[in-house]
Amino acid sequence: MMNILFLTIGRMESIEQHSIYPDLLRALRNNGHKIYTISPYEKRVGKETELIEENGVHYLYVKIGNLTKCNVIEKGISTLLIEKQFKDAIGKYYSNVKFDLVLYSTPPITLCNAIEYVKKRDNAKTYLLLKDIFPQNAVDLGMLSKSGAKGILYKYFRNKEKKLYALSDRIGCMSQANVDYVIKHNPDVPPNKVEVCPNCIEPIDMSVSEEQRIAIRQKYGIPLDKKVFVYGGNLGKPQGIPFLINCLRAANDTGAYFLIVGDGTEYSKLEAFVNQEKPEHVKLMKRLPKEDYDAMVGSCDVGMLFLDHRFTIPNFPSRLLSYMQAKLPVLAVTDPNTDVGKVIVDGGFGWWCESNDVEGVKECIRNTVKYNLRNFGEASFEFLVKNYDSVSNAKILLKSIQKMI
């Protein structure tokens, strides 16, 4: 049995919830290991640091500054302070626990001191779940640069990234393209400590019955007689929203209907497009109750992924898994550096188009509308069960740790 500490800047309410990290931690708990977590209470929540035990799992919530719903300066200051706040909280609240394994993910890359503290104090093994290659992703989108004033920030964060990699005994990447990228661009990282450890969940069939499909579509005014393409999730710079808008505009005569559900820094661009051009084949919604959202995704016909064409890093959107749970085929519109499109096409559950080719995307949509999509949807769920099951993910991780002990 191991004592496992999981650090995250996301809110970890319970490992009984169904999401990537709770599902992984639950699988580890069910393997007989003890789980401890540390996550933030943002200042705006108005709560003090506290330690809660629930069903044998320890949840340490640390009061920090604001990371969300605040300006860039406040977010930056809070991000810089969080590693000391986490380190101090571990020293105070987990002083009597000897950890065997420390798990953490990116973003952020600024928890090095807290991780290093536990690693040295307890002689613990460390495992990085690499979900984001920062700061290069920010360079790709023009938010940082390698020279000038922004270059100072880039060098600071790049040094943090290198330290995090050096501190990690193992680096688990979302796909083979991510493994290859890390090894190629980080010659100081031994290749044998980088492996594929993909985003995984506990597979649950989230498809809906015909009665449910009709009911949820009627509730929100979605046509019953159209093939509906759905995108659900963040609407920010990584998604390449201007290109998405061009695709929606071009697809007005394909016979497809598009449902966009989400929020983010680029939402206003989509909102302006919908309000000004009033496309009859597009519906934009900022949010839905979770139960309705899950039913809505299940009632659609094709899930969509969009990534900005400027990316040189191989993103692998976790949104893919929710589509697969709903037994949806997937249309990935991305840069050529990610291998998510290859995974989808080789797995026989969808299609890939490059995110600089509006006509190519339009033609793909036009063809997809003609298909009987049931077999693609079944293949999607089967691929999920075989390749992205959190129990299998836990086994990958534990096997790696055993090799180090």
Count how many residues are written for the chain. Answer: 405
- CB 200, CB 389: distance < 8 Å: yes
Percent of the chain with pLDDT over 70: 100
pLDDT of residue 106: 85
Given this model, what pLDDT does residue 75 score? 78
Average pLDDT over residues 58-76: 84
Alpha-carbon gap, residue 21 to 8, rounded angstroms: 9
Task: Mark residue 134 as left, alpha or beta (left: phi above 0; alpha: psi -120 to 50; beta: remaining).
Answer: beta
Helix (H, G, I), strand (E, B) or coil at 333: strand
Residue 71 has pLDDT above 80, yes or no: no
- Nearest Cα neighbor of 279 from 301, 252, 302 is 252
Domains 3-202+389-404 and 210-386 share a fold: yes
CA–CA gap between residue 189 and residue 181 (Å, rounded): 11
Q: What is each CA distance from 404 to 41, 100, 119, 176, 212, in whole angstroms?
A: 34, 11, 14, 22, 49
Question: Which range among 68-77, 83-92, 240-249 shows the weakest confidence by mean pLDDT?
Answer: 68-77
Q: In what order do the strands lie in the sheet with 227-234?
A: 282-285, 256-263, 227-234, 302-306, 330-334, 350-354
Rg (CA), the chain: 22
* Residue of 107 and 350 predicted with greater confidence: 350
Residue 200: both structure tokens together: 């995984």
Please provide the average confidence, as pLDDT, over all residues in the chain.
Answer: 93
Query: Which residues touch 330 (CB under 8 Å, ≥6 apart)?
Result: 302, 303, 304, 305, 320, 323, 324, 344, 349, 350, 351, 380
In the predicted model, is pLDDT for residue 153 greater than 90?
no
Give the pLDDT score at 370: 87
**Domain parsing of the chain, residue ranges:** 3-202+389-404, 210-386
More confident position, 108 or 139: 139
Q: In Å, how far are 59, 69, 78, 84 from 45, measured between CA atoms? A: 17, 11, 14, 20
Query: Residue 331 CB: number of other CB atoms within 10 A?
Result: 23
Give tens-digit pLDDT for 291-349: 999 999 999 999 999 999 999 999 999 999 999 999 999 999 999 999 999 999 999 99
Question: What is the DSSP secondary-structure string of 12-36?
Answer: ---TTS-SHHHHHHHHHHHTT-EEE
Spatial distance between the Cα atoms of 141 and 313, rounded to a whole number of angstroms: 11
Supply φ then ψ for residue 274, to 5 degrees. Answer: -65, -40
Alpha-carbon distance of 108 to 9, in angstroms, equals 8
Separation between Cα atoms, residue 269 and residue 399, nearest integer Å: 46
Using CA atoms, how far apart are residues 332 and 341, in angstroms rounded to an integer? 6
- Beta strand 256-263 pairing with 282-285: parallel
pLDDT tens-digit profile of 347-378?
999 999 999 999 999 999 999 988 889 999 99
Domain 3-202+389-404 -> CATH class:
alpha beta
- Provide DSSP, 55-87: TTEEEEEEEE---SSS-HHHHHHHHHHHHHHHH
CA dist 63 and 49 (Å) reads 5
3-state secondary structure of 145: coil
pLDDT of 108 higher than 90: no
Helix (H, G, I), strand (E, B) or coil at 314: coil
Strand partners, 50: 61
Give Cα separations from 148 to 105, 144, 153, 299, 345 (angstroms): 29, 10, 10, 49, 41
Lowest mean pLDDT among 138-147, 157-166, 291-300: 138-147
The tens digit of pLDDT for each residue in 174-230 reads 999 999 999 999 999 999 999 999 999 999 999 999 999 999 999 999 999 999 999
* Tokens at 187, concatenated: 């010659």
- How many CB atoms are closer than 10 A to CB 332? 24
Mean pLDDT across 61-79? 82
Tokens describing residue 171: 């680096």
Q: Which CATH superfamily is domain 210-386 in?
A: Glycogen Phosphorylase B; (3.40.50.2000)
- Alpha carbons 333 and 174: distance in angstroms, whole number: 18
Q: How far is CA 294 from the centre of its chain?
A: 17
User: What does the pLDDT read at residue 405?
Assistant: 67
Give the predicted TM-score (pTM) of the model. 0.92
